[in-house]
Chains A and B, each alone.
Chain A
Amino acid sequence: MQDLVFYFIAGCACVFAVLAVTQRSIFHCALWLAMTLLSVAGVYFYLEAPFLGAIQILVYVGGIITLFVFAIKLTAHIEDKSIRQLNTQWLPAALISLLLFYILIQAFASHPWKNIIPNAPVTSLQVIGRSLMTGYALPFEFMSVILLGALVGAIVIGKVKK
């Protein structure tokens, strides 16, 4: 029963991802990407990581998708359906990604996954908070510097030069 839930969410995510990279209208692509990210958030909830699922919905679906929609609307005429969205090398690209997928499947198939059972303790929010403030404090502070840099850089690049 639990497995069926996962198969449903994973199938949805895969179908939505394919739609997000193949749709003609770029606006529809952004919406399918939102659905894919929601399905991935469902996978996080299934994996007993509710905090990460909530962050996924807040940051990705609430923030990044909105930014994508703004960018699509600001670069107005490009969402016209008559414009070709794929370049001329779609066939070699499809072959390369299928080959990569095949290689990855072969690599995964050589490992005995059935023997691995989840025996780790469920990661609670307290554990994440404590890790962020103790063991991972340095990367956490680096992250705030990166976010500040991205913020200032975005304003500087986006400013209209007089």
Chain B
Amino acid sequence: MTPLGYFTLMSAFLFCTGIYGVLTRRNLIGILISIELILNAANINLVAFNKYLGSSDGMGQVLALFVVAIAAAASVVGLVLIIAIYRNAKSVFVEDFNLMKE
């Protein structure tokens, strides 16, 4: 069986890729895509540790299910917010949303 370290390595790579996307994207939808990557990285760790060091009640997989549900709710609200902002400002680029700065 694959050592547990490879799973944490893969999840760390996905996490850092997501961080890079959040920091560099101008497009709000691109930022949401990167956030989905970050949540998936956490989920891989939960499932892998459940497989290797798991408890009898399957805690890791249950928590991973909760993370999937939270991610779905978050992306729904995020996308609706983006569409509402787009309706007002006619843009989805983050540098156009500086209302609170002025």
Chain A residues near B (Cβ < 8 Å): 2-3, 6-7, 10, 13-14, 17-18, 20-21, 26, 29-30, 33, 36-37, 40, 43-44, 47-49, 51-52, 55-56, 59-60, 63-64, 67-68, 70-72, 74-75, 78, 84-87, 89-90, 93-94, 96-98, 100-101, 104-105, 108, 111, 113-114, 116-123, 127-128, 130-132, 135-136, 139, 143, 146-147, 149-151, 153-154, 157-158, 160
Residue among A104, A123, A128 with the highest chain B CB neighbour number at 10 A: A123
Q: Measured between alpha carbons, how far is A17 from B4 in the docked complex, in Å?
A: 21
Cβ-neighbour of B66 out of A60, A86, A143 (below 8 A): A143
The distance from the CB of A71 to the nearest CB of chain B, in whole angstroms, is 4
B94 cross-chain contacts in A, Cβ below 8 A: 87
Mark interface residues in B1-26 (1 if CB within 8 Å of A CB, else 0).
11111111110111111111101111
Chain B residues near A114 (CB, 8 Å)? 3, 5
Residues of B within 8 A of A29 (CB): 30, 33
Give, as a whole number of angstroms, the nearest-CB distance from A114 to chain B: 6
Looking at chain B's contact residues, is the secondary structure mostly helix, strand, loop, or mixed?
A: helix
Determine the chain A residues whose CB is within 8 A of the CB of B17 once the complex forms. Answer: 14, 17-18, 20-21, 97
Number of cross-chain contacts by CB at 8 Å: 241
- Is A154 within 8 A of B77, CB to CB? yes
Whether the pair A26, B30 counts as a contact (CB closer than 8 A) is: yes
A84 to B86, CA, bound (A): 18
Residues of A within 8 A of B9 (CB): 105, 108
A48: min CB distance to chain B, Å = 6
Q: Which residues of A contact B77 (CB under 8 A)?
A: 150, 153-154, 157
Q: Given A20-B21, A68-B79, A135–B57 Cβ distance below 8 Å?
A: yes
Complex Cα spacing A118 to B99, Å: 53
